Structure 1
Amino acid sequence: MLPDKKKQAHLLGFIQHGVNSHAIGMWRHAKDKVNWDWTKPAYWQHMARTMERGLFDAMFIADELAPYNTYQDSSDACVKYGVQCPTHEPSTIVPLITTATERLGVGVTLSTAFEHPYSMARRLSSLDHLSSGRIAWNIVSSYSKSEWDAYGQDMTLRSDRYERMEEYVDLCCQLWDSWEPDAVIADKATGIYADPDKVRVVDFKGKYFQSYGRHFCAPSPQGRPVFWQAGSSGRGRDFAAQYAEAIFAVHPNAERMRQYTDDINQRLTKFGRPENSVVRIFGLQTVVGLSRSEAEEKYARIKEGILPEAALAWISGHFGLDFSKFSPDEYVQNIEVPGIQGLFESVIYSKGGAPVTIREAALYYAQGMGMPIIVGTPSDIADQMERFMDEGGADGFMLIATNTPGCFEDFVDLVVPELQRRGRYRRSYPGTTLRENLLND
């Protein structure tokens, strides 16, 4: 009997189109963006080529639509300390990334809150065409007060946002599916380009949206983008189990990952989908060195870049609560937050269930958004990744950026070969589209 095949990891690089991603203060790091300008194409294309050299599934672009303004009822601290500010629009760099690569996908975070589904469907079809089928849509509904303030609207209830998001995705799917595969004829002799009988007019009348018209794009290589979701509340997990092809989650250890994996599997069956039919990608921060002491020195430099007030502004924005109004020694276990529930749990369990103060929570979260942090040699990092796969149910990892592009260069040059040696990582791309690569075991 042949031995069981080892699960091979999927890898994605987690960034934002801005001066700083999810490790606060990295713009201050001595080795961050050395000789690179993040506002120029060359920087993003170099990062994309690095990830493709490492056979990553995709570069995953997070987003926030406005500077956080929860801390002290102002966005001053975010602007002052570069807390995810400035940040440029995410989809604008997609063509730069995909023209510099041949197989690397791009996951782009686009909110359903302030744009009509008709234009969203058109934009994603266009990007999928231009990339030859390498686009994923991270479906979000805008969770922070600053976004709603910036767009001049009152923030809706979480339950309403998910109901609205379901209708939003339904309309997008009707538009993407409205062209039959053989609708395009392109007969130069007759002058007929497409058969109108095979391009359905979508007549949609919902609770939140109305649309009457044909989708303006012919079917793209993937038909529709890969659906990605990061819902962490119960309602968010249901949405992910119903619609997503891949899920991104943040949990601090293998035990919490396993609980999440089992919960998602139960929800999948509720929606008539097989267990393990969604790719589970867990957040991870790595700091790799040729020796443990070198890795520890690198990690110390990362932590040195974090200013306490910047960390408090960061968690206040993400969790929708002004932490300046609490004592730094207050335990977060005693606090309820209106923001991202699943990420707040990662903070609560950051010390294995032991009490965590606001001061500790802010500094921990500022290092990498509450993701588990592995500091060590390539072998140390591969050991822990294997444990997360085997015990936690991880199918892959979202690697959060520290100093760029160096953190991805180090991972590709040092950790990827170690994973390949263990049979835990691919040696070539199995397909040409993102869906083929991501959904391939």
Structure 2
Amino acid sequence: MTDQVRKKRAHLLGFIQHGVNSHATGMWRNPKDKIGWNFARPEYWRHIAQTMERGMFDAMFIADELAPYNTFEDSSDATVKWAVQCPTHEPSTIVPIITGATRHLGVGVTLSTAFEHPYSMCRRLSSLDHLSGGRVAWNIVSSYSKSEWDAYGAVMTDRSQRYARLEEYMEVCYKLWNSWEPDAIVADKESGIYADPAKVHEVIHEGQFYKCRGRHFCAPSPQGQPVLWQAGSSGQGRDFASKHAEAIFAVHPNVDRMKQYADDLNDRTINKFGRAPGSVKLIYGLQTVVAETRSEAQEKYERIKACIPLEGAIAWISGHFGLDFSKFSMDDIVQNIEIPGIQGLFESIIYAKGGAPVTVKEAALIYAQGMGMPVAVGTASDIADQIEHYMDEGGADGFMLAATYTPGCFEEFADLVAPELQRRGRLRTRYEGATLRENLLAS
């Protein structure tokens, strides 16, 4: 067996939102952004989906936020003014468009457990899995930002009970997805019996947080249940992800942090939860800026950074981390600030300069560029080198490729980087599975 055959192949996810701007703030201003395209039209999503499939991506990852961030100055004015992930449309609405335009590409949809009962969540996801022929994943989140709870007129739940609530939510989901026995559907036209009620079990659940009495309204979908994705960063979060997820997402600024995370997550999944090695894929955030020459790539990168509005960047970190950064000096050091929001992503800022002090201004601009992800800038060969380094030394099984200007950033990756990875034996040359789960879990 050759060295090339033994090498891991990268799993690629296109990280994007159903909105005017994704995770690189200000990209709507970029002269390369959405030339001739409108994000609110189906044609745009068909094109991006077909581009990702051409690049042999596993799936499109649709991130989401349920309401405009309003932590900065106790207002969502800056969020609206600077298009900080705003406007953003509901993510699951484009799933049939994406999967209808492709044969193999999966789609992962971010859906919050905070304001939706498990019964309707299961019905929606099973329906999408049927319509896509088994190519749907669910990125499991519980709403973290003040704006979401304000928009729904609810009081934010106690953080200490967050994972107990999530565990029970998943318990109800599993009961519903598993409630139809494989031979429950009879479909006997002569007798008129469609399904045997003895084999379609009624779920009766009365727990601390949820109650449910009813049969799952959907027959088993091609995957049985969607592929489960999760981003775990705290100790409890890592346990939840290690127990439930089939792909775990993380943002780490350097290979050392990636390796530490990989060692910890692999230990939890295998030794604590008894899952088989390779049954959970570790997917790391990466932003790429590729061109035919290094100088051209660097010029593109400088234009991307120049589009970021500082106030918009401050509004975003305020919303994500649950703290109004307008109350701090731009020269304050973020390592000295305690935040209530997403701990794991805050660490990506803390270690953005290798542990050296990071000011509030620096943190905001780094985060607004791509959530603190490492950035690969250069030729296709340069970027492939970096990807291989993160896989071989950092434990990555694949990458969430964060959007900059669209659809150009994905077109350039598919046209330049994907062929280079294929030449190195680091990317599939064809899809081997019929479902997203089969393709994602392939080595």
Q: TM-score, normalised by structure 1?
A: 0.99
Cα deviations by residue, 1:84-131 (Å, 9 ceiling, x for unpaired):
001000000001101000110000000000001000000000000000
Which residue number corresponds to residue 342 of structure 2? Answer: 340
Contact map agreement 1:287 1:299 (CA 8 A) in 2 = yes
The alignment status of 1:99 with 2:100, answered yes or no, reads yes
Contact map agreement 1:159 1:235 (CA 8 A) in 2 = no
- Structure 2 CA distance for partners of 1:2 and 1:44, relative to 1, 3 Å: closer
Which residue number corresponds to residue 318 of structure 1? Answer: 320
In the alignment, structure 1 segments of 5+ residues that lack a partner are none
The alignment status of 1:169 with 2:146, answered yes or no, reads no
Distance (whole Å) between structure 2 residues aligned to residue 437 and residue 169 of structure 1 = 24
Which residue number corresponds to residue 423 of structure 1? Answer: 425
Contact map agreement 1:22 1:369 (CA 8 A) in 2 = yes
Contact map agreement 2:287 2:403 (CA 8 A) in 1 = yes
User: What SS is found at the alignment partner of 2:6?
Assistant: coil
Q: What is the identity, as a one-letter code, of the residue corresponding to 1:26?
A: M
State the 1:17 CA deviation: 0.5
Distance (whole Å) between structure 1 residues aligned to residue 398 and residue 391 of structure 2 = 7
**Equivalenced residues, count:** 441
Contact map agreement 1:266 1:275 (CA 8 A) in 2 = no
Which residue number corresponds to residue 57 of structure 2? Answer: 56
Which residue number corresponds to residue 257 of structure 1? Answer: 258
The structure 1 segments of at least 4 consecutive aligned residues displaced by more than 4 Å after TM superposition are: 1-4
Distance (whole Å) between structure 2 residues aligned to residue 201 and residue 366 of structure 1 = 47
Which residue number corresponds to residue 294 of structure 2? Answer: 292
Q: What is the identity, as a one-letter code, of the residue corresponding to 1:137?
A: W
Which residue number corresponds to residue 442 of structure 2? Answer: 440
Distance (whole Å) between structure 1 residues aligned to residue 162 and residue 80 of structure 2 = 28
The alignment status of 1:132 with 2:133, answered yes or no, reads yes
Cα deviations by residue, 1:29-69 (Å, 9 ceiling, x for unpaired):
11100100110000011000000111110000000000000
Which residue number corresponds to residue 307 of structure 2? Answer: 305
Contact map agreement 2:289 2:376 (CA 8 A) in 1 = yes
Contact map agreement 1:57 1:438 (CA 8 A) in 2 = yes
Which residue number corresponds to residue 179 of structure 2? Answer: 178
User: What SS is found at the alignment partner of 1:30?
Assistant: coil
User: What SS is found at the alignment partner of 1:34?
Assistant: coil
Which residue number corresponds to residue 410 of structure 2? Answer: 408
Which residue number corresponds to residue 374 of structure 1? Answer: 376
Cα deviations by residue, 1:196-235 (Å, 9 ceiling, x for unpaired):
1110011111110011110000000000000100121111
Distance (whole Å) between structure 1 residues aligned to residue 266 and residue 159 of structure 2 = 23
Cα deviations by residue, 1:318-363 (Å, 9 ceiling, x for unpaired):
1111111001001101011111101000001000111100111111
- CA RMSD between the two structures: 0.9
User: What SS is found at the alignment partner of 1:109?
Assistant: strand
Which residue number corresponds to residue 87 of structure 1? Answer: 88
Distance (whole Å) between structure 2 residues aligned to residue 181 and residue 275 of structure 1 = 28
**Of 349, 352, 373, which residue of structure 2 is paired with 1:350?**
352
User: What SS is found at the alignment partner of 1:316?
Assistant: helix
State the 1:150 CA deviation: 0.7
Contact map agreement 1:58 1:104 (CA 8 A) in 2 = yes
Distance (whole Å) between structure 1 residues aligned to residue 208 and residue 303 of structure 2 = 51
Q: What is the identity, as a one-letter code, of the residue corresponding to 1:334?
A: N
Q: What is the identity, as a one-letter code, of the residue corresponding to 1:411?
A: F
Contact map agreement 2:278 2:441 (CA 8 A) in 1 = no
Q: What is the identity, as a one-letter code, of the residue corresponding to 1:374?
A: A
Q: What is the identity, as a one-letter code, of the residue corresponding to 2:157?
A: T
Contact map agreement 2:308 2:368 (CA 8 A) in 1 = yes
Q: What is the identity, as a one-letter code, of the residue corresponding to 2:419?
A: P
Q: TM-score, normalised by structure 2?
A: 0.98
Distance (whole Å) between structure 2 residues aligned to residue 381 and residue 108 of structure 1 = 27
Which residue number corresponds to residue 333 of structure 2? Answer: 331
Which residue number corresponds to residue 239 of structure 1? Answer: 240
